[in-house]
Chain A
Amino acid sequence: MKHKEPLIYISKRESLPWQKSWMIRGIAIMLALVFCGVITMLLTKLNPIEVFSTLFYGAFGTPRKCWVTGQKLAILLGISLAITPAFKMRFWNIGAEGQVLIGCLACAACMITLGNKVSNGLLILISLAASLAAGAIWGFLPAFFKARWETNETLFTLMMNYIAMQLAAYFIIVWEVPKGSGTVGVINDQTEAGWLPMIGGKRYLLIILLIALLTVVMYIYLQYSKHGYEISVVGESRRTASYAGIKVDRVIIRTMVLSGAICGLMGFLLVSGNDHTLTTTLVEGRGFTAVMVSWLAKFNPIFMVFTSLLLVVMKLGATEISSTFGLNDSFADILTGIILFFIIGSDFFTTYQIRFRRPHDKRTAKAEPLQPIPQSEPQKEVQ
Chain B
Amino acid sequence: MFEPLETEQEDKYKRFGKRSLVFVLVLLAMFFALAARLFALQVMNTSEYSAISSRNQLRMISQPAKRGDIYDRNMLKLAGSEICFEISISTSKEQSEDEIKELAANLAGYLKDPELNAETIEKMITGNSRRYQPVVITTLPAENNQHLVASLEENRDKLPGLLIIETPRRVYLQGRLASHILGQVGKITDSDADLMQNYNYLATDLVGKAGVERTMERFTDTDGREIGLRGQRGLQLLEINSSNRIVRVVSTQESVSGNSLVLTIDSDIQRVMEESLAATVKKLQQDRPKAQGGAAVLLDVKTGAVLAMASYPDFAPEDFISGIDSELAAYYYDETLKPTFNRAVSGAYPVGSTFKVSTALAALACGAIGRNTEILCDPENWVNDKAKCTGIHGMVDLSHALAVSCNTYAQDAGAMAGIDNMYEVFRQLGYGQLTGIELTGETRGLLANPDWKKLNFKGSEGNWYPYDTYYMSIGQGYSYYTPLQMAQAMATIANHGVRMQPHVVDRIIDYEGETVYQWEPRVMDRINMSDESWDVLYDALLAVTQPGGTAYSTFGRYPVPVAAKTGTAQTGLVGDDKNNDYHGWFIAFAPADDPQVAFAGMVEYGFHGFSSGGIVCRDVFNAYFGFDSSQTSTSVYSSVVE
Do A and B interact with each other, yes or no?
no
Which chain B residues have a beta carbon within 8 Å of chain A's beta carbons? none
Which chain A residues have a beta carbon within 8 Å of chain B's beta carbons? none
